[in-house]
Structure formats: structure tokens, C-alpha cells
Amino acid sequence: MPKTITSTELQKNTREVIDWTRTRGEAVIVETYGKPMAAILSYDDYQAYDQYRQARQARFTRLKAAAAANAQATDLSEEDALALVELERQLLFDEQHPES
């Protein structure tokens, strides 16, 4: 469970909060009036999240492009379109899990 602090505590203890995330590798949730407003995490965790986010966006872009190409093909049956989507999904899975 991540540590939770108020925005006032963050203002008073910024250095300690940064040290907490860096040394323990745990996120800190910052609340204002009891509502979570931000999360502070280590730079390594941020980089891992950013790589995940970019890879996810690239996968969605590929799937959207495949769907658009399928929609343009007027002679494509619904069964063929679903087969192409499944093929693209399998290719994406194989890229993510090369050991499988």
C-alpha cells in the first residue's frame, strides 16, 4: 500500500518524500482535502511506466490501422475480417512474449 500524505505535508517535507520514494521504491500519494491529486514515484518506476504507455499506444495504433484497412476492403467477409484482427492480436502478443 503506498504511503499517503497531504499536500501541506509535501510542502513541508519535500526532501524526505523524495528520499522515501527513491530509497524504498514505493510511491507516495498526495491528497488535497482527502482526495488523491498526484503520485510521486521513483524515476525508474516512471521510466518503466512510460515505456509501457508508449508500447501500449503503439499496439493500439497498429490495431486501429488494421481495423481501418479492414473497413476499406469491401470484398472482405466478416469472418475474414475477424481472422485478420485475430492474426494482428497474435502478432502483438508474440512481440510482447517472445519466450512463449
Q: pLDDT band for 68, please (50, 70, 90 cuts).
A: confident
Cα–Cα distance between 13 and 27 in angstroms, integer?
Answer: 15
Selection from 57, 30, 53, 51 nearest residue 41 by Cα = 30
Retrieve residue 9's grid coordinates.
505535508
Cα distances (Å, whole numbers) of residue 23 to 29, 37, 69: 16, 23, 49
pLDDT of residue 91: 83
Least confident of 5-19, 28-42, 61-75, 80-94: 61-75
pTM of the shown model: 0.61
Q: pLDDT band for 75, please (50, 70, 90 cuts).
A: confident
Retrieve residue 43's grid coordinates.
524515476
Q: pLDDT band for 47, please (50, 70, 90 cuts).
A: very high
pLDDT at 9 over 70: yes
